[in-house]
Amino acid sequence: MRRLVLALLAISAPAFAGTYDDFSRGIDANNRGDAAAAIQFFTRAIDGGDLAPSYLPSARFGRARALLHDRRCGAARADLTEAIRLRADFVDAYSLRAEADLCLEHDGDALADATAAIRLKPAAGYYFTRARIRWGMGDFAGARSDAHEAAARDPGNAYVLLWQAIADGRAGGFDPAAFALRTAGLDGWPKPLLDLFAGRASPQDVERRAAGNPNQKCEADFYVGEWRLGRGDAGRARDLFQTAAGECPRDYIAFDAAQRELRRF
């Protein structure tokens, strides 16, 4: 009898190990930006049938992350909904589902999911997500409130600070001098964009710093467009938004935001 049990374990062990290997490989693929491989690995892990229940929400989340990278927004949302069904307090799934909602242009659902994430965990990243959602909906006062909350909780996050400047400008209360003081100690990219809003750099300075790096160039086009829009130069802003929408990776914040701005014209 003991030999029979050991034989059965030996037969099942490779399949069991394979499912967990696929789960780990999916995580690795996402981390290196290989969405196609991540989808394949997570699908095998989910469909294998022997992944522990506690791992299934994370497998769904991982596949949704890869699907969103490829702009397969409806499929990503379905995975995130299942992840939340399996783990009702899965805060990152609510936040990522808000991004899927935005991708589907379901702004009301996006706002609800971002708010649910904040209720579960009032962290900077979730306030940042909701700030961008409210900005996209034209609720600039709400976006400003959330951006300030995110910046208070994560004062060294340069992108949060950029969106604080944008939201302040749209809500009519941006102070370049105060912003310059707040961002003085930061360096690296996207520091040139912070310097632009703080009055320490020109658009040409930003262009020079972004030259040679396509991803920085795409971000520069969007954020310089926001800076120009704030100064009443709608024509040049629109040109920059069009360029950003055409050149940014589709999983970049600047890609979605540029498209949103173009729909406002």
pLDDT band with cut points at 50, 70 and 90 for residue 10: very low
For 192-251, how does the pLDDT look when each residue is reduced to its tens digit (9 = 90+)? Answer: 999 999 999 999 999 999 999 999 999 999 999 999 999 999 999 999 999 999 999 998
Is the bond leading into 190 cis (omega within 30 degrees of zero)?
Answer: yes
Q: How far apart are CA 245 and CA 133, in angstroms?
A: 18
Give the model's pLDDT for residue 231: 95
User: HSE of 62 in the Cβ direction (CA atoms, 13 Å)?
Assistant: 29
202: amino acid identity, one letter: S
CA 63, distance to chain mean position in Å, is 15
Place of tokens 């196609």: 36
Residue written as tokens 């699908």?
Answer: 43
CA distance 265 to 170: 15
Alpha helices, H only, the chain: 2-31, 35-47, 56-69, 73-86, 91-103, 107-120, 124-136, 140-153, 158-171, 176-183, 191-198, 203-210, 214-230, 234-247, 253-264
pLDDT band at 17 (very low <50, low <70, confident <90, very high): low
pLDDT in tens, 113-141: 999 999 999 999 999 999 999 999 999 99
Which amino acid is it at 196? L
Domains of the chain: 15-121 (1.25.40.10)
The CA distances from residue 89 to 58, 84, 86, 111, 121, in Å, are 12, 7, 9, 17, 9
CB atoms within 10 A of CB 156: 10
Mean predicted confidence (pLDDT) in 27-44: 97
Record the pTM: 0.90
Q: Residue 15 has what pLDDT?
A: 43
Percentage of residues in the chain with pLDDT exceeding 70?
Answer: 94
CA distance between the termini of the chain: 76
